[in-house]
Structure 1
Amino acid sequence: MHISLRAGEKIYINGAVLCADRKVSLELLNDATFLLEAHVMKVENATTPLRQLYFIVQIMLMNPTDSAVARAMFEQSMRSLVEIADDQALLAGLRAVRGHVEDGRVFEGLRSIRSLFSIEAGIMSGDSAASPTQAA
């Protein structure tokens, strides 16, 4: 896998943080868990239930050797979200997230959570047409 970084850009690989001092291309030759800086959520931005879930899963990805506490937080957060959610698209998305995380595909879990942000925003604003399945 080829990854291009700009000067000053960070990448998180298997728990390590790398910062490029100039434009650089990297080639990962084996399986590695990585997250580009653009996909990293800061704690102050974890302001909604789904964003908090994203932050928890992000911790699992960034620190794979010490994720027991994050996994327990993930399970608790998932239970809470499923209990209060009544939007079918959101529930389906949460099932996909759980499946990805349980299968060890944590990055796919993050991607699935990001795809649910617009549904959550619609629910929080009271917009019932926010769900893509309802809009069709």
Structure 2
Amino acid sequence: MKSTLKLSLKANEKLYINGAVIRPDRKVSIEIMNDAQFLLENHVLQPEDASTPLRQIYFILQVMLMNPQGAPDARDMFRKSLPLLLASFGDEHILASLKQVDRMVAEGDVYGALKTIRSLYPAEQAALQGGNDREKLRDFEPLAMGAR
């Protein structure tokens, strides 16, 4: 049995599906009836907002969904960035979740990986504000930023 996903979009709200940008001119509900890689506009991270280690890795994975032609390069960047990110955190929950993100990306579930990363933002914020990862995170440097 195939599962379907019903989405409701407001007028002019963008939806990114398999690299295509869809923007309805009025409120609309759509059903995605098969597997598709998609991203809702409110989950799109702008380059200037990729200001923390997790947001930087999120941005890299986001490129894979929004720009299928650039997906191989983004995947390579993810593979190079993930070990640096894992070495930057001491929090076991974050580390376990990042390993899960790695598995999801390997299995082609980039959307699930993005959702998992978004769920880690509060833990990352706590680490940045004074947790035991603060000094390590300050030294984290992304491999690349701002591909538009």
Q: Which residue of 2 aligns with 1:101?
A: 105
CA distance in 2, matches of 1:34, 1:80: 27
Could you state the TM-score of these two structures normalised by the residue count of structure 1?
0.89
Partner of 2:129: 125
**1:63 partnered with 2:67:** yes
Which of 21, 28, 35 is the matching residue for 2:25? 21
User: Which segments of 5 or more consecutive residues in structure 2 lack a partner in the other structure?
Assistant: 133-148
State the alpha-carbon separation in 2 of the partners of residues 49 and 43 from structure 1.
13
Q: CA deviation at 1:65?
A: 4.2
| CA apart distance, 1:90 | 1.1
Deviation sequence 1:95-124 (CA, Å, 0-9, x none): 011011011111010011111111111111
Counterpart in 1 of 2:16? 12
Cα RMSD for the two superposed structures:
1.2
Letter in 2 for 1:64: P
Deviation per residue, 1:70-111 (Å, 9 max, x gap)? 011111110111122211111111101101101111101001
Calculate the TM-score normalised by the size of structure 2. Answer: 0.82
What is the alpha-carbon distance in structure 2 between the residues aligned to residue 63 and residue 102 of structure 1? 18
Native 8 Å contact 2:64 2:75 kept in 1: yes
CA distance in 2, matches of 1:23, 1:112: 28
* Aligned sequence identity (%): 49
Q: Which of 1 and 2 has higher RCO (CA within 8 Å, sep 6+)?
A: 2
Structure 1 ranges of 4+ moved more than 2 A: 63-66
